[in-house]
Amino acid sequence: MSLTNMIEDMAKDAKAAARELRKLERAQKDAALELMAERLIKKQKNIIEENKKDLSQAKAAGLSAAMIDRLTLDENVIKGMTDGLREVAALADPVGEVTGMWKRPNGLQAGRVRIPLGVIGFIYESRPNVTVDAAALCLKSGNAVILKGGSEAINSNVILADLLAGALKDTGLPPKAIQVIPVTDREAVNILIGLEDDLDIIIPRGGEGLIRFVTSHSKVPVLKHYKGVCHIYVDKFADLEMAKEVCFNAKVQRPGVCNAMETMLVHEDIARDFLPSMSKLFRQAGVEIRGCPKTLELIPEAKPAVEEDWPAEFLDLILAVKVVPDMQEALDHIEKFSSNHTEAIITNDYHCSQRFLAEVDSSVVLINASTRFSDGNQLGLGAEIGINTSKLHAFGPMGLEELTTTKFIVYGQGQIRS
Amino acid sequence: MSLTNMIEDMAKDAKAAARELRKLERAQKDAALELMAERLIKKQKNIIEENKKDLSQAKAAGLSAAMIDRLTLDENVIKGMTDGLREVAALADPVGEVTGMWKRPNGLQAGRVRIPLGVIGFIYESRPNVTVDAAALCLKSGNAVILKGGSEAINSNVILADLLAGALKDTGLPPKAIQVIPVTDREAVNILIGLEDDLDIIIPRGGEGLIRFVTSHSKVPVLKHYKGVCHIYVDKFADLEMAKEVCFNAKVQRPGVCNAMETMLVHEDIARDFLPSMSKLFRQAGVEIRGCPKTLELIPEAKPAVEEDWPAEFLDLILAVKVVPDMQEALDHIEKFSSNHTEAIITNDYHCSQRFLAEVDSSVVLINASTRFSDGNQLGLGAEIGINTSKLHAFGPMGLEELTTTKFIVYGQGQIRS
């Protein structure tokens, strides 16, 4: 069978499974998630064995230590996956909620009810625990999922998917609701994103190159974010101690993630009081500062920023710093360079805080808090399947509810249209 | 200037205008809509003059009488457009609504606020009044719009857009919020749908060919529906008089639209009581019936249905009819052939009605009412920009609210992440 036929068949099976999933009650889905957690523990030796095949190939291929670390499944990581499954089971089921209902002048009662999206294509790189996380969120929200993981994790992903599908089967649910594409060909991505009749949505997670490729070529709608170039604007009316703590946290606590601060904008009236002591803290943490000319006057040891630094997602202990004459210039800078992901203001001024909230066109806008809170768990969505920085469907962190949509339901008594 | 440069500049201007639109209060938008209505009346002679240029070209090109009718702007059509503008002004402004707000354990107050999508690309065929309708809905929801109408309406569209942009300018709003691409080149569509950095969404309206082309090639997310293959299932427990009225209405009242019934499914237990008298009504209205073998036994004058009739959108006085042995087969038929647009059941049975609502995966599902109610105005959305039969963002008829999204807003007191 050709790769195309295989993936087309998987999509057809997923669509048939999705029809069954629409009808499930919460208890059935939670029972399957619980059995999955039990199976992962019971079969952890087999999982670790399959994972070792991936690891030895990765070492032979000369993958970096960081990559190998992300690929490794041990008892702790497997325990983490089972905790994740049980956390998803504990979340409310979004499906079936009537989000509104109203009466029309002709007596029709019209409303909207939350339903699953249908079939989700999930394309990701590296970490095999994403296989379990994504499958759990898709199942709980009533969706079938086709997973295409990184080629370096193929053996791990295949055994994990087998265990999950087995648990589905043994709780009376359609096993084709969770499928991993069991080959490493890059061509599989191309085929998957062309199946617009059977897939409802594609979620790519990984490097910007993968995501741009998927977005450019997919016939299926895509939810994605390219990068997070997050700004904090330290206003003239900021509490400077708070500003230091929040900016330090946003840059240093976990610099390699998309909600870390990449550019700090500082009002010139407080720059002299703020920047030297802030830069001292950053220097102690090993942060390299790349500043505008005014920044360099106040932090002589900083490097001069070049044009490419302003739109950059460093994902590292590097920070671009710009002194601005007023809030308008901060807003203009954000409008020009932000990735519409997350921005924050530090201020005690009422007007400035409200203006920042209203005018910044990003998926998460914070007052006096670290950009690191831009995350489904932290914002209270319960779990996160990803972040979307396009405006469509769900802007920002996406949890279970964002894996659903609504349909209209109408109760009539024989109404006809005149 | 090349066509590409021109359209890229329009998109940049639209994006700059969108930044201004985000900040507008409702009263400013309503004032502009009112002035637009006044200007259309004041300048109706000029509009009709420009429209005549389109009409004479259309006649020379041998367009059908129906096409020419849709293209024609007279005083009545212009009055209709001004009524539409005032109706949109009377609708509530969706922007700024806080759709939810909650407190996190660390004291962060997180919520969601409704915001415009940004820049909308609207691609349509024929009718120039769509130019005004779409522009009004986009403005009211705070979005900038770039309109690409049909080449046969170019003169009409250009003067209408000029008048609308003039009214924006004279009420202090950015005139680039409403722009028509002033050329007829088909290549303009190709360029527009590639501008993923400046456009947030593309809405194509027209024939299936246009929509499939846009969906396949767009780098910008697309909201669209290909076609409406709407079913009514007349259940064993239907009130047959009601079934006749509703099915007649759904097929005959306006057969050329996407929410007209295209296939009628009839439970075999009531087929003998229902089909002969129903078909008599249809025959009197000139409806051609294409039936399954069991239908032909009861309606000998019907044509036999062929395989292509089941997925067909006739948009005409033609109806496919199938007799089914039970509700499961009706659901299976709908699952296989429906376009996920609109389906209805006629029944007095509680269980059957609830099962149909739950299991049919279409954007509008009705009990005991005509499929013709699947429409933004009829469902109470106030106005309709189109219908989306993909599950993403908005499933079904789209009104003002569906031209918005939400962003997260977070009020903190210096919280950092540990």
| CA atoms of A322 and A310, how far apart (whole Å) | 9
Angle between helices A26-42 and A44-60 (to 10 degrees): 70
Global pTM reads 0.93
pLDDT of B358 > 90? The answer is: yes
Q: Alpha carbon of A99 to those of A112, A113, B46: distances in Å?
A: 6, 6, 47
ipTM of the assembly? Answer: 0.93
For the cut 90, the answer to whether the pLDDT of residue B162 exceeds it is: yes
A370 touches chain B (CB under 8 A): yes
pLDDT at residue B383, as a whole number: 82
Q: How high is the pLDDT of residue A354?
A: 97
> Beta A109-116 vs A98-103: how paired, if at all?
antiparallel
Q: CB B104 to CB A200 under 8 A?
A: no
Rounded mean pLDDT, A287-308: 98
Are B201 and A407 inside 8 Å of each other by CB? no
Beta-bridge mates of residue A396? A388
Q: A22 and B104: CB-CB below 8 Å?
A: no
In the predicted model, is pLDDT for residue A221 greater than 80?
yes
Q: What angle (nearest 5°) sits at the alpha carbon of residue B91, between those of residues B85 and B92? A: 140
User: Is the Cβ–Cβ distance between A34 and A86 less than 8 Å?
Assistant: yes
A415, β-bridge pairs: B369
Taking the CA of residue A329 and the nearest CA in chain B, the distance in Å comes to 14
> How far does B294 lie from chain A, in Å, by closest CA?
26
Please name the member of A117, A242, A416 whose beta carbon is closest to the beta carbon of B370: A416
Q: Which of 104-163 (B) contact A at CB < 8 A?
A: 104, 108, 110, 113, 115, 117-118
**Which one of A114, A251, A395 would you mutate to disrupt binding with B, by most B Cβ within 10 Å of its Cβ?**
A395
DSSP code string of B334-358? HHHH--SSEEEEE---HHHHHHHHH
**Residue B384 scores a pLDDT above 90:** no
**Candidate from A248, A392, A414 with C-beta closest to B368:** A414
Query: What is the token pair recorded at B87?
Result: 């109706």
CB nearest B380 (choices: A102, A201, A242): A102
Contact A155, A51 (CB under 8 A): yes
Our measurement of the distance from residue A347's CA atom to the centroid of its chain's CA atoms, rounded to an integer in Å, reads 28
What the block records as the tokens of A392 is 């469509």
B376 neighbors B397 (Cβ within 8 angstroms): yes
Confidence of residue A215 (pLDDT cuts 50, 70, 90): confident
The rounded distance, in Å, linking the Cα atoms of B44 and B364 is 38
Q: B232: which strand partners?
A: B264, B344
Q: Does A363 touch chain B (CB under 8 A)?
A: yes
Q: How many helices (H) and strands (E) does chain B have?
A: 14, 16
Residue of chain A whose Cα is closest to the Cα of B119: A391
CA distance A73 to A56: 13
Provide the pLDDT for residue B66: 84
Q: Are A242 and B414 an interchain contact pair (Cβ–Cβ within 8 Å)? A: yes
pLDDT band with cut points at 50, 70 and 90 for residue A417: very high
| Contact (CB<8Å) B407/A216 | no
Give the pLDDT confidence of B10-33 residue by residue, as tens digits: 999 999 999 999 999 999 999 999
Say which range, A105-114, A323-332, A376-385, B98-107, has the weakest mean pLDDT. Answer: A376-385
Chain B residues in contact with A395 by the CB 8 A cut-off are 115, 405-407
**Pairs of residues, one from chain A and one from chain B, whose beta carbons lie less than 8 Å apart:** 207
Q: Which residues of A touch B405 (CB under 8 A)?
A: 391-395
B219 vs A110, A215, A364: nearest CB: A215
Q: Which residues in A lie closer than 8 A to residue B402 (C-beta atoms)?
A: none
Task: Band the pLDDT of A43: cuts 50, 70, 90.
Answer: very high
User: Residue A407's closest chain B neighbor by CA?
Assistant: B363
Residues A256, A260: Cα–Cα separation, whole Å: 7
Q: Is B303 helix (H, G, I), strand (E, B) or coil?
A: strand
B220 to B118, B193, B198: CA distances (angstroms): 12, 6, 9
Q: Which of B362, B364, B408 comes nearest A379 by C-beta?
A: B408
**Cβ within 8 Å, pair B392-A392:** yes
Determine the average pLDDT of the residues in A38-57: 97
CB nearest to B393's CB, from A374, A379, A392 = A392
Could you give the count of Cα atoms lying within 13 Å of B242 in the half-sphere of its Cβ? 20
Q: Which of B249, B391, B415 sits opposite A200 (nearest CB)?
A: B391
Q: Quick one: pLDDT band at residue A250, thresholds 50, 70, 90?
A: very high
Centroid of chain to Cα B222: 13
Full 3-state SS string of A310-376: CCCCCCCCEEEEEEECCHHHHHHHHHHHCCCCEEEEECCCHHHHHHHHHHCCCCEEEEEECHHHCCC
Q: Is B348 strand, coil or helix?
A: coil
Q: In which band, very low, low, confident or very high, does the pLDDT at A230 lie, cut at 50, 70 and 90? A: very high
Tell me the residues of chain A between 198 and 227 that have a Cβ less than 8 Å away from chain B: 200-201, 215-216, 219, 221-223
Q: Are B177 and B139 in contact, with CB atoms under 8 Å apart? A: yes
Domains of chain B as residue ranges with CATH: 3-224 (3.40.605.10), 230-378 (3.40.309.10)
Strand order across the B119-124 sheet: B178-180, B144-148, B119-124, B201-205
Distance (Å) from the alpha carbon of A61 to chain B's nearest alpha carbon: 35
pLDDT at B317 over 90: yes
Contact across the interface for B361 and A118, Cβ inside 8 Å: yes
B410 touches chain A (CB under 8 A): yes
pLDDT in tens, B242-277: 999 999 999 999 999 999 999 999 999 999 999 999
Fill in the DSSP letter of residue A13.
Answer: H
Determine the Cα–Cα distance for residues B400 and B96; give it in Å rounded to an integer: 13
C-alpha distance from B12 to closest chain A C-alpha (Å): 12
Residue holding tokens 């069954």? Answer: A20
pLDDT tens by residue, B165-209: 999 999 999 999 999 999 999 899 999 999 989 999 999 998 888
Is residue B126 predicted with pLDDT exceeding 80? Answer: no
Q: Looking at CA atoms only, how far is residue A52 from chain B in angstroms?
A: 33
Contact A372/B417, CB-based, under 8 Å?
A: yes
Tell me how close the Cα of A155 comes to any Cα of chain B, in angstroms.
33
Work out the pLDDT band at B127, boundaries 50, 70, 90: confident
Confidence of residue A216 (pLDDT cuts 50, 70, 90): confident
**Count of C-beta atoms within a 10 Å radius of residue A165:** 20
Question: Span A21-27, mean pLDDT?
Answer: 96
Name chain B contacts of A413, Cβ cutoff 8 Å: 368-369
Report yes or no: B168 and B186 within 8 Å, Cβ to Cβ: no
- Interfacial A residues in 297-336 facing B (CB < 8 Å): 335
Contact A409 B380 (CB under 8 A): no
Of A248 and B65, the structure prediction assigns the larger pLDDT to A248
Other CB atoms within 10 Å distance of the CB of residue A125: 18
> Chain B residues with CB inside 8 Å of A102's CB?
380
Neighboring chain B residues of A366 at a CB cutoff of 8 Å: 409-410, 412
Q: Which residue is listed with tokens 């360029």? A: B191
The confidence score (pLDDT) of residue B224 equals 87
List of residues 6+ apart from B190 with CB closer than 8 A = B217
pLDDT of residue B215: 87
- Asked whether the beta carbons of B410 and A375 are under 8 A apart, the reply is no
Contact A392 B409 (CB under 8 A): no
Indicate yes or no: CB of B412 within 8 angstroms of CB of A115: no
In chain A, residues with a C-beta closer than 8 Å to the C-beta of B216 are: 219
| Chain A: closest CA distance from residue B296 (Å) | 27
Q: CA neighbours within 13 Å on the CB side: how many for A378?
A: 22
As a whole number of Å, the end-to-end CA separation of chain A is 54
Beta-carbon separation of B357 and A23 below 8 A: no
Q: What is the mean pLDDT of chain A?
A: 95
Q: Which residues of A touch B257 (CB under 8 A)?
A: none
From the CA of A28, how many Å to the nearest CA of chain B? 17
Residue B148's pLDDT band (cuts 50, 70, 90): very high
Residue B417, chain A, CB below 8 Å: the answer is: yes
* CA distance to partner chain B, nearest, from residue A42 (Å): 33
Name which of A115, A250, A361 is nearest B22 (Cβ-Cβ). A361
Q: Say if the Cβ atoms of B19 and A216 lie within 8 Å.
A: no
- State mean pLDDT over B270-299: 98
Q: What is the pLDDT of residues A356-413, one digit of tens each?
A: 999 999 999 999 999 999 999 999 998 888 899 989 999 999 999 999 999 999 999 9
**Is A416 in contact with B335 (Cβ distance < 8 A)?**
no
With beta carbons under 8 A apart, name residues in chain A contacting B378. 104, 417
Using the Cα atoms of residue B111, residue A230, residue A129 and residue A153 in order, give the sign of their dihedral. Answer: positive
> Once rounded to an integer, what is the mean pLDDT over residues A111-128?
94
CA pair distance B377, B114, nearest whole angstrom? 21
Judging contacts by C-beta atoms under 8 Å, the chain A residues touching residue B110 are 379-380
Task: Kindly write down the DSSP assignment for every residue of B16-57, as one continuous string.
Answer: HHHHHHTT--HHHHHHHHHHHHHHHHHTHHHHHHHHHHHHHH
Mean local confidence (pLDDT), A318-337: 98
Across chain B, mean pLDDT equals: 95
